[in-house]
Amino acid sequence: GESVGLHLPTLSVQEGDNSIINCAYSNSASDYFIWYKQESGKGPQFIIDIRSNMDKRQGQRVTVLLNKTVKHLSLQIAATQPGDSAVYFCAEKYTGNQFYFGTGTSLTVIP
Amino acid sequence: GAVVSQHPSWVICKSGTSVKIECRSLDFQATTMFWYRQFPKQSLMLMATSNEGSKATYEQGVEKDKFLINHASLTLSTLTVTSAHPEDSSFYICSARAPGDRVYGYTFGSGTRLTVV
> How large is the average pLDDT for residues A6-31?
86
The chain-wide mean pLDDT, for chain A, equals 89
Please check whether residue A45 is in contact with residue B109, taking contact to mean a CB–CB distance below 8 angstroms.
Answer: no
The tens digit of pLDDT for each residue in A77-104 reads 999 999 999 999 999 987 777 788 888 8
- Which residues in chain B have their CB less than 8 angstroms from residue A103's CB? 42-43
Cα angle A38, A41, A46; round to 5: 25
Cα–Cα distance, B27 to B6 (Å, whole number)? 14
Question: Would the CA dihedral through B99, B59, B44, A19 be positive or negative?
Answer: negative
Contact check, Cβ <8 Å, A100/B46: yes
- C-beta atoms surrounding A80 within 10 Å: 22
Interface test with B, best of A23, A37, A38 (most B CBs within 10 A): A38
The tens digit of pLDDT for each residue in B16-51 reads 999 999 999 998 888 889 999 998 888 899 999 998
pLDDT of the residue at A26: 73
- Of residues B105 and B69, more confidently modeled: B69
Q: Is the pLDDT reported for residue A6 higher than 90?
A: no
Cα–Cα distance, A15 to A6 (Å, whole number)? 22
Contact check, Cβ <8 Å, B104/A97: yes
- CB-nearest to B46 from A45, A89, A99 is A99
Pairing relationship of beta strands A10-14 and A105-110 according to DSSP bridges:
parallel
Q: What is the DSSP string of B21-85?
A: EEEEEESS--SEEEEEEE-TTS-EEEEEEEETTS--EEPTT--TTTEEEEEEETTEEEEEE-S--
- Looking at the complex, report in whole angstroms how far the Cα of residue A81 sits from the nearest Cα belonging to chain B: 22
Please check whether residue B24 is in contact with residue B76, taking contact to mean a CB–CB distance below 8 angstroms.
Answer: yes
Q: Longest Cα pair distance anywhere in chain B, in angstroms?
A: 41
Nearest to A71 by CA among A32, A28, A22, A20: A28
Least confident of A97-106, B2-11, B12-21, B58-67: A97-106
